[in-house]
Amino acid sequence: MKIVSFVPEPGQYAFTFGGADPVLRVKPGTALSLWTEDAFCGRLLSTSDHASTSLRPDELNPQTGPFYVDGAEPGDTLALHLVDLTPARRWGVSSLVPFFGGLTSTPQTPTLQEPLPERTWVYEYDAVAGTVGFEAQGSDFRVALPANPMLGTVGVAPAQREVRTSLVPSAFGGNMDTPEMRAGVTCFLRVNADGALFSVGDGHYRQGEGEACGTAVEGAMNVTVIVELIKGGGPQWPRIVSDEHLMVVGSARPLEDAWRAGQADMIGWLGELYGLDQLDAYQLLSQVSLAPIANVVDTNYSAVTKVSRTLLPPAEPYQGMHRALRRAADVMGTITY
């Protein structure tokens, strides 16, 4: 398998889905070895760096890409298999950004209250122990938490001629901020523009479900991804297949609509996989669904509909694409997760 490396220059980031020129053309079947800058463009370096003074509002969630996938046309299905996610720095950082987060008023839900105080936390990443270290600032509490590397953003160019900032999660993927986007999974996205124009970024060394304060343990990431293409069959919402689960990520406001999107798409998916009619699939999903919230802080909120494959008869979604990509990744011999 061909492995192509790409590390963006500082001026080469994309800050949108759609609207940016591709940095590279890749053929289906290519493995990419990428580097992604953190969500803050690397501007928060210590606990004394605060969002309001250190960040540039128009330079958040820098994307590595977009990549033009040869042969990808609207309606097709782009498959991105995350072979490996490895923290690229010895530290990650999280910060309270004024009027951003799940437990503060925001420009979208404004109040007249003062913003929360600013505070930045730096987490040391211990590659050997596989942990990130939380250090309280109002007390001497410390705890090492297991690192759980994931990507906040994986997306393609939107439909309907739109260009969206890399802060937005939607049907094109984007800033979904779900811990399910980890090494070992395959993400399936509907292609909306010639070449798909996908990009990745916003690496998290660890994130809780909901991403309450608005930022995870943000960090630069080394990303290995295999790119595949299936003609036709593009799903309505981003789907994720792992060895253990089938998942759909819905994004909307209010949060129940994000959940509805994922549930409705999963009902269709279960119908296809198992020959169930819609009502039977609705019933079955009602009893087997997991429903972890992804984020309640972004422009749209995201919720995951998640079904354990072990509960159901064997099935090979997308003609076994995930399994094939797992094997291909094994062959690459670079898997570190």
Q: Would you give the binding string for its own copies spanning residues 166-195, x where CB under 8 A is met?
A: -x----------------------------
Q: Does the protein bind its own copies through residue 19 (CB under 8 A)? A: yes
Exactly one of 3, 127, 163, 331 binds its own copies (CB under 8 A); which one?
163
In whole angstroms, the minimum distance from the beta carbon of 33 to its own copies comes to 27
The answer to whether 28 and 227 have CB atoms below 8 angstroms apart is: yes
Please give the Cα distance from 119 to 48 (Å, whole number).
Answer: 8
Closest distance between its own copies and the C-beta of residue 65, in Å? 15
Structure tokens, 179: 């811990």
50 vs 334 by CB, closer to its own copies: 50
**Nearest distance, CB of residue 47 and its own copies, angstroms:** 11
Q: How many whole angstroms separate alpha carbon 180 and alpha carbon 250? A: 13
Q: Which 25-64 residues touch its own copies, going by CB under 8 A?
A: 58
Q: How far, in Å, CA of 155 to CA of 220, rounded?
A: 18
Q: Which of residues 101-130 bind its own copies (CB under 8 A)?
A: 102-105, 107-117, 119, 121
Burial 306-325 (b: 16+ CB within 10 A, else e): bbeeeeeeeeebbeebbebb
Burial degree of 41 (CB within 10 A; 0-12, 13-18, 19+): middle
Q: For residue 138, what are the contacts with CB-CB under 8 A and spacing of at least 6?
A: none
Residue 223 CA, chain-centre distance (Å), reads: 12
Contact 49, 204 (CB under 8 A): no
Smallest distance, Å, CB 88 to its own copies? 19
CA distance 230 to 71: 10
**CB 92, min distance to its own copies, A:** 10
Q: Among residue numbers 69 through 108, which ones bind its own copies (CB under 8 A)?
A: 94, 96, 102-105, 107-108
- CA–CA distance, 36 with 226 (Å, rounded to integer): 16
Nearer to its own copies, 53 or 109 (CB): 109
The CA distance from 94 to 307, in Å, is 31
Of 32-40, 80-88, 212-220, 223-231, the segment contacting its own copies by CB under 8 A is 212-220
> Min. distance of Cβ 196 from its own copies in angstroms?
18
Cα angle: 162, vertex 166, 170; to 5 degrees:
60
CB of 222 to its own copies, least distance (A): 21
Q: Which is nearer to its own copies, 213 or 227 (CB)?
A: 213
Which residues within the stretch 272-331 sit at the binding site for its own copies (CB under 8 A)? 274-280, 282-293, 296, 301, 303, 305, 311-313
Choose between 32 and 249: whose C-beta lies nearer to its own copies.
Answer: 249
